[in-house]
Structure 1
Amino acid sequence: MTKTTDETANQNPRRWAALVVCCLAGMLLGIDNSVLNYAIPSLVKDLQPSSTEILWISDVYGFVMGALLVVMGNLGDRFGGKRMAMIGAAAFGTASLLTSYAGSPETLIAGRALLGLAGAMIMPSTMSIVRHAFTDPRERTTAMGLSGGLGAASFALGPVVGGLLLDHFWWGSVFLINVPVMVVVLVAGAVVLPEWRNPKPGRLDWASVPLSVVGLLGVIYAIKTGARDGFDEGQVWAAAAVGVAALLLFGRRQTRLAQPLLDLRLFRNPAFSGAVGSNLVMIFASSTLSLAFSLYFQVVRGWSPLTAGLALLPGPLAAAFAAPLASVLIPRIGRARVVALGLALLSVSTAVLGQVSTPDAGYWTEILAPLIVNGMGIILIMAVTSDTILASAPKERTGAAAAISETAMELGGALGIAVLGSVLTAVYRGALHLPAGTSAGAARAARESVSGAAAGGPGAAEAAYGAFCHAIQVTTLVGAGLIAAGAVAALFTLRSVPAVIEMPETEPDPEPVAA
């Protein structure tokens, strides 16, 4: 009997229930990441934060989660993924309660920071749990695809959930809704989630922890702040310098430790490095798409946030439904070709979406089909790369591997918005030709963003909308070209990865511990 057959016979009978719990927790993180933007106008009226406080309310969640993923993934391997996920879920529910009833901007910022901490605990742990619950390669790929597809859908669900709640309740309701969901995760997770941990974790190198946190926080802060406020600010370059220096010291230290916090040897595996690279290209080039189309639907088309969220939803929903397709294609054409196919679909659909984005484009006749293809392309990539990353890492390092993957996605998304967002803005301003007689104040508002163009009257708004659509067309072509290059690269970087990956064991298999 082969190893695969043995593993299939001994599969966890509660694995699909465990997947549901992990997906529920992961979806809540995605919704929480996008829902705040729609609550800001209401909470500004209530709490009256300063402009700096508004920025911290918006950004601190991503800053904290991105900076702590590596540390929390490592701790999950040491102390148990289930234990870490349960602690994270309890912390997330508690922080959501604190945030929903925050009476001051400072309390709200603290609550959002705690949400980021809890999210960093949950995200790599749930991915590791799915990896251990599914030992059959085909089932594991399907499970990872479903998890990734629903995670992608959750970002589009943020505007829908936010719009529905804010139409009837106060701004804190977008956070309070997290509490009953996390109660379900805690109760169900205690019963169905399997527990695994590294039986020989070695001593934790505490000196690596602050180097990792400071390095990632500095880099993420510099990229996100620079993308929003410009890179001519001294604090942006200071944060970048501190972050890069800390990461260089961190990386050097990891190569000298017998039990590193981040095992850089994982990148020697072409399956691991090729999959992480493909994810990075995907998120970098497509990150601006959701932001641009949110503005397109709400400003250019004049749709409400709820309607705009519903308009974007078919793409992520298609991703969720197409997830099993990856496990069918892998045995037939191989992992490299499936990832390349996903990137090719993403590239073509991104280009088409950009070209049909005009002020009077038909949603059902021109936009819907490429939006669905876009979602299918994303899931073909994520299902294979997520499965490849976790299956190619040693069992005792799956939390750390998941953290590397998520950190790369966080950095890739921030870089994508910084770079392609700058392209979008530059093309928009270059193409903007306001009608004669537009006041200086209205012209400044229109050049600052397409949202401010309405102040200049119908003529200025029409000119701004046309310029913005042109900017979308150019930016999506740039993004599509980068994704197409990534598709070619995937054929080479993943060409030696087998359809069925024998999960490596640098140490004896961890024995299951009491749940």
Structure 2
Amino acid sequence: MQSATPAPALDRAAAPLYKHRYISLVLLMLPVLLVSVDNTVLSFALPSISRDLGPSSTTLLWIVDVYPLILAGLLVAMGTVGDRVGRRRLLMIGATGFALVSAAAAFSPTAELLIAARALMAFFGAMLMPSTLSLLRNIFTDARERTMAIAIWAGAFAAGSSLGPIVGGILLEHFAWGSVFLLAVPVLIPLLALGFVFIPESRDPNPGRIDLVSVVLSLAALTPFVFGIKQLAHDGVTVVGVAAVIVGLVVGVLFVRRQRRIPNPLLDLTLFANAPFAGSIVANFLSVFSLVGFLFFASQHLQLVLGLSPLDSGLLLLPATLVGIGAGMLAAVLVRRFSPRSVVLGGLSCTAAGFAMVVLFQHDLVAMVVAVAFVVLSFGVSFAETISNDVILASVPEEKAGAAAGISETAYELGVVLGTAVLGAVLSAFYRANVVVPAGLDPAAERAAGETLGGAMSASTSLPGGSGDALVASAKAAFESGIGVTSTIAVVLIATAWAVVHRTLRSTRPTGRPVPAAPVAPATAPTEPVTD
């Protein structure tokens, strides 16, 4: 830990441009990169975890699902907590906890302990993302610089998502499955060593008391809701799935009612009265919802239909990451000449075009078509979300930056979970309706072949040559029958996002500073330092 004087809190009257702001940006990119890599790298370690720890199929699913369930439930709460206790302080607590628990997870002797470790990782991970985005809002006081900083932040997130499969493939070729968790330690060490020196503290200068009941209600609303959606997508209409969704909705209503009644709400619902803020949140949610649907079927198509290895599949999709990073930078430049609405609408149009390519070539979806479609789609998503994230932060008072960032990240996580669940369920439904499973399989293999493409590929090895080939051909055709429908749904969702942005961002000036739809308190008060 450095012994230098901690970075001061920002006083806008005395220091409108913080001199270490770009060092701060580099440090704040580290947890973003880590969290986005962590979203995708675990899936490549599951076979090794299954072999070493011997979990049941349900337990294996919980190893994956417990992290997004808890993360989605805590993001709003942690964003608001950061506004009140200090965003840098919360970031450093989260980074310390995430690194320590990740190291413990790498050496988990049982699947149950690994699930517990993943739950704790989600708890500390929820402190990271809202803190990084809200700190950028307060560190970069110049509108143009802030837009570029958010573009770099979004680029780091996109890079991490695409690097996950590549990093996972490399690590698992040379090390045990625990290496994917140990990755967090070296990534976070620079942040922990230098964060107190170069990242200034910021928080709401007039914080209210944290309402613990609201924190519990937010977790109790989002967690069962997300769990229920995943259950319904995986098992169809079941009592457990329907009950979980109902519980989530009922508790959500109680949460909203409490926020309207108490003087210091955990979630400031008046933020949604600002049309640019609300419209950008909806657009981001629908964009991510569609994007993860693409990744869900593209990863399976490349590996199971076209026969590419996980590493080769990741490398094939890597150019899209580089294009996405460049698109964010380009958007940050173009927004100086064009209105934010025009830039976001242009990005959404490119996103729709990427899905339209899949629809057009669904019966001849070779690797190059997938790669090009993902390049176009990534360009559009990064182009649009860079500016919409800037609109989200710029359209609220700076003391509410943490709450706004928490809402934005919650919309993202819900988009990831629900996009995979809903669009994955559509794809699975078309697969089950069209696959033809030949006789001669044991009941377990027959059930697996009728449910997933991977199950069919595995079951085909136990059949005679002709029957096995017929099952593989039928499974691939059934899988591809759902790709076109899934992509068509994504086009409709992006068109909806386009319409929402066209309507809600009409009050936005080309400078990148939205005109609030309703009066809000000016963000003129200097941010108070935190006494360490």
Q: So what's the TM-score if we normalise by structure 1?
A: 0.93
Contact 1:389-1:401 within 8 A present in 2 as well = yes
CA distance in 2, matches of 1:117, 1:333: 40
Whichever residue aligns with residue 186 of structure 1, its letter is L
Counterpart of 1:449 in structure 2 is 452
CA distance in 1, matches of 2:63, 2:366: 35
- Larger deviation, residues 260-269 vs 137-146: 137-146
CA distance in 1, matches of 2:367, 2:527: 57
Contact 1:395-1:505 within 8 A present in 2 as well = no
Whichever residue aligns with residue 345 of structure 2, its letter is A
Pairing 1:284-299 to 2, within 5 Å after superposition: 284-299=289-304
Change (3 A) 1:360 1:197: closer
Structure 1 gaps of 5+ residues are 1-5
Whichever residue aligns with residue 72 of structure 1, its letter is M
Pairing 1:388-427 to 2, within 5 Å after superposition: 388-427=391-430
Counterpart of 1:320 in structure 2 is 325
Q: Does 1:513 align with 2:518?
A: no
CA distance in 1, matches of 2:176, 2:101: 17
CA distance in 1, matches of 2:361, 2:449: 23
Contact 1:300-1:359 within 8 A present in 2 as well = no
Change (3 A) 1:186 1:211: same
SS of structure 2 residue aligned to 1:237: helix
Counterpart of 1:267 in structure 2 is 272
Q: Does 1:214 align with 2:220?
A: yes
Counterpart of 1:233 in structure 2 is 238
Contact 1:31-1:154 within 8 A present in 2 as well = yes
Q: Count residues with an aligned counterpart.
A: 506
CA distance in 1, matches of 2:97, 2:473: 47
Contact 1:222-1:239 within 8 A present in 2 as well = yes
Alpha-carbon shift at residue 273 of structure 1 (Å): 0.4
String of CA shifts for 1:157-194, please: whole Å, max 9, x gaps.
Answer: 11111110000100101101111111122113222212
Contact 1:359-1:469 within 8 A present in 2 as well = no
CA distance in 1, matches of 2:326, 2:150: 13
Q: Does 1:497 align with 2:503?
A: no
- Larger deviation, residues 282-291 vs 83-92: 282-291
CA distance in 2, matches of 1:486, 1:52: 35
Alpha-carbon shift at residue 126 of structure 1 (Å): 0.5
SS of structure 2 residue aligned to 1:42: helix
Whichever residue aligns with residue 428 of structure 1, its letter is Y
Counterpart of 1:204 in structure 2 is 210
- Larger deviation, residues 120-129 vs 239-248: 239-248
SS of structure 2 residue aligned to 1:238: helix
Alpha-carbon shift at residue 219 of structure 1 (Å): 1.1
- Larger deviation, residues 217-226 vs 161-170: 217-226
Whichever residue aligns with residue 401 of structure 1, its letter is A
2:469 to 451, 458, 483: 458
CA distance in 1, matches of 2:529, 2:41: 37
Counterpart of 1:480 in structure 2 is 491
String of CA shifts for 1:312-339, please: whole Å, max 9, x gaps.
Answer: 2222221112212112222333111111
Counterpart of 1:469 in structure 2 is 480
1:378 to 368, 377, 381: 381
Contact 1:254-1:260 within 8 A present in 2 as well = yes
CA distance in 1, matches of 2:123, 2:486: 34
Alpha-carbon shift at residue 304 of structure 1 (Å): 1.3
Pairing 1:22-61 to 2, within 5 Å after superposition: 22-61=28-67
Pairing 1:87-126 to 2, within 5 Å after superposition: 87-126=93-132
Structure 1 consecutive aligned stretches of length 4 or more whose deviation exceeds 4 Å: 6-9, 357-360, 436-443, 502-508
Q: So what's the TM-score if we normalise by structure 2?
A: 0.90
Contact 1:274-1:493 within 8 A present in 2 as well = yes
String of CA shifts for 1:453-484, please: whole Å, max 9, x gaps.
Answer: 22231221122212222321221122112212
SS of structure 2 residue aligned to 1:400: helix
Percent identity between the aligned chains?
41
CA distance in 2, matches of 1:449, 1:88: 37
Alpha-carbon shift at residue 375 of structure 1 (Å): 1.1
Contact 2:302-2:367 within 8 A present in 1 as well = no
Structure 2 gaps of 5+ residues are 1-11, 461-467
CA distance in 2, matches of 1:188, 1:318: 31
Contact 1:95-1:114 within 8 A present in 2 as well = yes
Whichever residue aligns with residue 176 of structure 2, its letter is W
Counterpart of 2:372 in structure 1 is 369
- Larger deviation, residues 273-282 vs 351-360: 351-360
Two-structure CA RMSD over aligned residues (Å): 2.1
Counterpart of 1:3 in structure 2 is none
Alpha-carbon shift at residue 254 of structure 1 (Å): 0.7
SS of structure 2 residue aligned to 1:255: helix
Alpha-carbon shift at residue 287 of structure 1 (Å): 2.0
CA distance in 1, matches of 2:365, 2:253: 50
Alpha-carbon shift at residue 505 of structure 1 (Å): 4.3
SS of structure 1 residue aligned to 2:206: coil
CA distance in 2, matches of 1:24, 1:149: 12
Whichever residue aligns with residue 23 of structure 2, its letter is A
